Amino acid sequence: MKLKSCIRAAAASSLIVGLGLTASTLSAGAATHNRDFQPFQESHALFVETESPTGNHVLSYSRASDGTISFAGSYATGGVGATAVGATADPIASQDGLTLINNNTELVATNAGSNTVTVFAVQGTRLFWLQQVASQGEFPVSVASHGDLVSVVNAGGVGSLAQFRLFGDFLVSQGVQVRSLGLGLTNTNPPDFHHGVGEVAYTPNGQHLIIATKLSTNSFDVFSVGFNGALGATPVVTPSDNALPFAFTFDSAGRVVSAEASNSSVATYSVNANGSLTSLGWVSDGLTALCWISGANGYFYGSNSGNGNVSSFDENGAGAPQLVNAAAATAHAGTIDSVVSPDGQTLYVESGGAGTVDAYSIGAGGSLTQIETIFNIPVASEGIAAS
């Protein structure tokens, strides 16, 4: 019996080494994995990332059925945040820097100042630290997932994309799945907040991985994703309709719905099989710095950082965007990242300039009705996710 136990232990150890998981990672995971034996409590949560340069944290809030939230705890990532050059309300100037993966059972937080990402296990509003891994580049700002594939985009320096594979609860680096974005010698680390990368996301069918490059190249870089998860060697590049493509989401047909900040506009694109994008049109809300965007029930909500408000949009039958209401909701100074609850009933909007999160119920015609404002979020926090 002892011999068999030793053989099994040796085999497990060999597998772990082969996967590239470090001893420190595994010891941390083992210490927190007791969560599997704790009574499960069904609870919906909202998570906000501080990106503090003195110690990054994720703030956890319980979400009630009416959309209101209550503080539940603060969890250190083990890394530090950082601030892009020129940024004030939005330290990492991106979307999806805090992302739920694996059917909302794990949460991934970027640590822009440490060049790492942290993985937490999620149990309701409670987080359990599992792992901190190198982002394979400088200044990680956005995370995407599809199935067991997880990608991190780094906005500093020449910029890079790194794809990991989820093995159990852990991210395993795939060295051959790192791609340079060639953002140019003028891109620094930390990057200027108008340059670098704004977001990375897999298309809903998982066949492509899209990156918005902001003013660095004013384009979308689209990598193919093979059946086994292999990334294409080079991206297909499509110029954006307007300068400063910052962030994007997808509509129900899998089309890209992009926030393009230079003229505070929303543009839509179809994704072609070869990775190119075809423009379907764009519309401006006439305001300032529409950089972040979320979607629910066929409507899309853009955060206008320069005006402290939220605009709403929909699409016509051909997929072109239409402005519904340029002042759908009033938020606070430095309106930035937003997220819609999984049931599509509540929009949460973070205002990094004021240190607030506003909750709005989503009604007929995409209307927004304010539920409450939560204060005391650290000013210049960025990153929000809802389960």
Give tens-digit pLDDT for 210-240.
999 999 999 999 999 998 999 999 999 999 9
Residue 241 forms part of a structural domain: yes
Residue 275 forms part of a structural domain: yes
Residue 14 forms part of a structural domain: no
Instruction: Find how far residue 237's CA is from the centre of its chain.
Output: 21
Residue 51 forms part of a structural domain: yes
**For residues 100-113, average pLDDT:** 97
Percentage of the residues of the chain whose pLDDT score is greater than 70: 89
Query: What's the confidence (pLDDT) of residue 43?
Result: 83
| CATH code for the domain of 133 | 2.130.10.10
Is the confidence at residue 4, as pLDDT, over 50?
no
Is the confidence at residue 322, as pLDDT, over 70?
yes
What range does the domain containing 353 cover? Answer: 22-386
Residue 8 forms part of a structural domain: no
Task: List the structure tokens of 78.
Answer: 């083990």
Contacts of 292 (CB under 8 A, 6+ apart): 95, 246, 247, 259, 302, 303, 305, 335, 336, 337, 338
Residue 128 forms part of a structural domain: yes
Sign for the CA dihedral angle at 173, 175, 179, 183 comes to: positive
**Rg for the chain, CA atoms, rounded:** 20
Contacts of 187 (CB under 8 A, 6+ apart): 155, 156, 157, 158, 159, 195, 196, 216
Query: What's the confidence (pLDDT) of residue 11?
Result: 36
pTM of the model as a whole: 0.90
Is the confidence at residue 109, as pLDDT, over 70?
yes
Total Cβ atoms within 10 A of residue 343: 12
Query: What's the confidence (pLDDT) of residue 29?
Result: 34
Confidence of residue 39 (pLDDT cuts 50, 70, 90): very low
CA distances from 194 to 88, 189, 232, 235, 298 (A): 12, 13, 27, 21, 29
**For residues 303-325, average pLDDT:** 97
Residue 213 forms part of a structural domain: yes
Q: How many domains in the chain?
A: 1
Task: List the structure tokens of 19.
Answer: 């996967």
Confidence of residue 184 (pLDDT cuts 50, 70, 90): confident
Residue 3 forms part of a structural domain: no
Is the confidence at residue 14, as pLDDT, over 50?
no
Express each pLDDT in 54-92 by its tens digit: 999 999 999 999 999 999 999 999 999 999 999 999 999
Contacts of 201 (CB under 8 A, 6+ apart): 96, 142, 144, 209, 210, 248, 249, 250
